[in-house]
Amino acid sequence: MAQGRLIKWGSDFVGANGSAAVLGPDIQAFGVGTETYAATVDESGGILALGTGATDNDNAVLRAGPFAPRDGKIVLNARFKYSNVDCAVFVGFTETLDTTTPVMPAEFDTATMTYNGTGGILGFNYDADGTTDDFRAVMGDGGAAISDSAQGTRASATLTADRWFEVTVILNEDGTGECWLGDSGHANAGSINRLRLIKRFSTGTLLTTTDLFFACLMIEDRTAAARTLEVDYLEGTAGRDWRFS
């Protein structure tokens, strides 16, 4: 276990006022096309509406970091919902994400998962380009799947527009990872969404612990129509081991 100060990052967007300043100092925002960031006035607690432009494959990104697993466990927590099911979403960690023309770290088309970029990836992909829609837990590196994640691991989630999803993604000090998801189709006896472990990546090739990873939440349209991701919170923790500074 790495020692030293624990970094707490992110926001629950309380007090959203319709401008990019609501994101706070920990989170960067960018995208392809004319992305938008605004307060959602019909939800309680302060919700950020993250919107895409109206050209096919326009996207919008929230990003924090970078963080190195060797310095301690990295945890991402997020709660969000999409306006329409015909979109793509990625939430998790990525080593490669260009701020000028960001590309989805992982994309699913028909029945094939594609890992983009040159760095490590851990998280969830949802993509309406797939024949069977679902959230899929993924791990990749160098443009290829690793740790038995060729097509990702399905969450068998209930994919309804305007319903909340809750996600926890954990990248451990040894390069292993965990992907947890809660959705409206998997509630406990109190009708509260139940967070389920979808995949623990712990075998075969793992992520490199000295690499730097960004935590991100991203939406991309799939129909040349603007799409919105309403984000309740995007936050987490990371280690900072001064011995490696």
- Per-residue model confidence as pLDDT tens digits over 150-160: 999 999 999 98
42 token code pair: 């019909």
> Residue 184: what pLDDT?
82
Under-70 pLDDT residues of the chain: 1-4, 15-22, 24, 189, 241-245
Q: What is the pLDDT of residue 104?
A: 95
**Predicted confidence (pLDDT) per residue in 34-52, tens digit:** 988 887 877 777 788 999 9
What pLDDT is stored for residue 179 in this prediction?
Answer: 98
Give residue 244's pLDDT. Answer: 47
